[in-house]
Each structure stands twice: as C-alpha cells, then as structure tokens.
Amino acid sequence: MPYRCSLAFENNFFNQEIRQFVYGKGRNTYRILFTIVDDSVQVLFVRHAAQKPMTDESDEE
C-alpha cells in the first residue's frame, strides 16, 4: 500500500510524485524515497534521516 506513505519534501522539485517511507528508530532511521509507476514501486534513494533534504541546485544561486 504505497499510497499510505506521505509525500516527500523532494516532491516539490520533480515532475513525478515522490513519496517517502521512514524506516528504523533513533539514530538508525532512514528515509526511503520512491515513486509509483503503474502497479510497481520504484525506489529512488535511501537516505539517512539526518541528511538534509535534496533541493533544486538552481535555487541555491
């Protein structure tokens, strides 16, 4: 049931809908960023929860 996962912060920077699943507890927490294509889930990134969200690099200039 991938639609139960919330939209990720990174969703604002991509054309496709990016969702996140938070896995783990405490210092061992990871964000799994994925997209849903037809009837399948494609994992895009697995990032540690302490990492800053990905942003559009052109916005930082």
Separation between Cα atoms, residue 50 and residue 22, nearest integer Å: 12
pLDDT in tens, the chain (61 residues): 999 999 999 898 888 999 999 999 999 999 999 999 999 999 999 999 999 887 766 555 5
**Residue with structure tokens 């991938």?**
2
Q: At 24, is the secondary structure helix, strand, or coil?
A: coil
Other CB atoms within a 10 A radius of the CB of residue 53 amount to 13
Residue 21 has a pLDDT of 96
